[in-house]
Chains A and B, each alone.
Chain A
Amino acid sequence: QKEVEQDPGPLSVPEGAIVSLNCTYSNSAFQYFMWYRQYSRKGPELLMYTYSSGNKEDGRFTAQVDKSSKYISLFIRDSQPSDSATYLCAMKPGGSYIPTFGRGTSLIVHP
């Protein structure tokens, strides 16, 4: 079993839809949880990070962490075609700089 599991998709939604992206993990030591967006042939761009459990909102994006279930989510409201990209979750224990990445979910938002 991989430490971080993420469905690769693709996930195809119409413009304006609410998108839910998810990751599960097995390492209970993970404390920091990040979401990255990666456009084709580009490096990942940090979207959100949260510490421990709870919700965090930034514009159209909401990150949610449920440590009891070892489950994290990223919600995108009012999705736009420009949101089409691969979304990678990443997480790491406290005190460590090296995150463990999911394989990414490919999102396609069609007009």
Chain B
Amino acid sequence: GAVVSQHPSWVICKSGTSVKIECRSLDFQATTMFWYRQFPKQSLMLMATSNEGSKATYEQGVEKDKFLINHASLTLSTLTVTSAHPEDSSFYICSADRQGTNTEAFFGQGTRLTVV
């Protein structure tokens, strides 16, 4: 199967600082990547759709100025949590579809963010 790598796998940061999470498709090109947030024992909540070379599309209720998404190449998307607060602590996961397919999404390993 295709490989999506997410980094870091966990991060602890102080309140008010910014954190960047990277999502890379290692063996395929991904024109579209997705960013999810997952709370304990809950399903994946789609935050935004990241499109290579254009602005991300955010889901209702997700602050685009707080969760900055950049998709600069066909293999890399980044999510930056700006001015993080403890309520931003969560598990963030990216996924990517192989270009031209409409079947399965491949997920990164996830990033556990803890804001103290």
Residue ranges of A at the interface with B (Cβ–Cβ < 8 Å)? 6, 8, 32, 34, 36, 41-46, 49, 51, 88, 90, 94-99, 101-104, 106
Q: How many residues of B contact A (CB 8 A)?
A: 25
Contacts of A34 in B (CB 8 A): 104-105
Contacts of A51 in B (CB 8 A): 103
Residue ranges of B at the interface with A (Cβ–Cβ < 8 Å)? 1, 4, 6, 32, 34, 41-44, 46, 49, 91, 93, 95, 97, 102-110, 112
Task: Let me know if A103 and B43 touch, CB within 8 A.
Answer: yes
Nearest opposing residue in chain B for A48, CB measure: B104
> How many angstroms from the CA of A108 to the CA of B73 in the assembled complex?
40
Which listed residue, B1, B6, B44, B110, touches A88 by the CB 8 Å rule? Answer: B44
Which listed residue, A42, A46, A97, A101, touches B43 by the CB 8 Å rule? Answer: A101
> How many angstroms from the CA of A44 to the CA of B42 in the assembled complex?
13
| A8, A32, A101, A106 — most chain B CB neighbours (10 Å) | A101
Which listed residue, B43, B97, B102, B110, touches A95 by the CB 8 Å rule? Answer: B102
Contacts of A32 in B (CB 8 A): 102-103
> How many angstroms from the CA of A98 to the CA of B44 in the assembled complex?
12
